[in-house]
Amino acid sequence: MEDKERDFVTQDETGELPPMDEVEGRVEAEMKRIEGSARESVGQGIQDEQVEREGRKLREEGERELDEEK
Q: What is the pLDDT of residues 12-55, one digit of tens each?
A: 788 777 777 778 888 999 999 999 999 999 999 999 999 999 99
Q: Which domain holds residue 56?
A: 18-69
**Domain total in the chain:** 1
Is-above-0.95 flag for pTM? Answer: no
Contacts of 66 (CB under 8 A, 6+ apart): 26, 29, 30, 33
pLDDT reported for residue 2: 59
- Domain contains 3: no
- Domain contains 46: yes
- Domain contains 6: no
- Domain contains 10: no
- For 2, which DSSP code? -
Check whether 63 has a pLDDT greater than 90. Answer: yes
Q: How far apart are the first and last CA of the chain?
A: 40
Phi then psi for 9, rounded to 5 degrees? -115, 125
Check whether 5 has a pLDDT greater than 60. Answer: no
The average pLDDT across 56-61 equals 95
Confidence of residue 4 (pLDDT cuts 50, 70, 90): low
